[in-house]
Amino acid sequence: MRWMLALAMLATVALVAPGPVAAADVTISVTTWSSGAWAPPPQRHGHHHGPAKKLILVPSPVYVVPSRCLAAGYWNHAWVPQISSYSLWVDGAWSPDGYWIEGHYEQRLSSSGYWQPYWVEGRWGAC
């Protein structure tokens, strides 16, 4: 009955725990104590009738730290548009209706721009 409780607790921890994580240098140690004298493990072909042993599992904290890497900063560029107006001289000409149009200035728009460099800071992120 206790194994069912232990299995239920293990399943609960597995469901709550985050996704799989590689844990290097993690060891699991089990220490056993018995009420009687120590006896060697039973042979395969014989039977061992020593005192019953209790298995006590002592939980120890396992610290899992996700690895983090620094993404270095870098230069990038952004296009900065510029729109300006200017005056353009238009020579006199005949209209399609047959009227003379005197020379004059007209307002026009000019679209230009330039590339502006900017620095992107480095950041820490998952590897």
Entry pTM: 0.34
The 10s digit of each residue's pLDDT in 72-97 is 999 999 999 999 999 999 999 999 99
Cross-strand bridge partners of residue 105: 89
- pLDDT tens digits, one per residue of 12-56: 655 555 555 455 555 555 555 555 555 556 555 655 566 667 778
Residues 6+ apart with CB under 8 A from 58: 31
Q: What is the pLDDT of residue 63?
A: 82
pLDDT of residue 24: 53
Section 105-125 average pLDDT? 94
Up-side HSE of residue 68: CA atoms within 13 Å toward CB?
A: 7
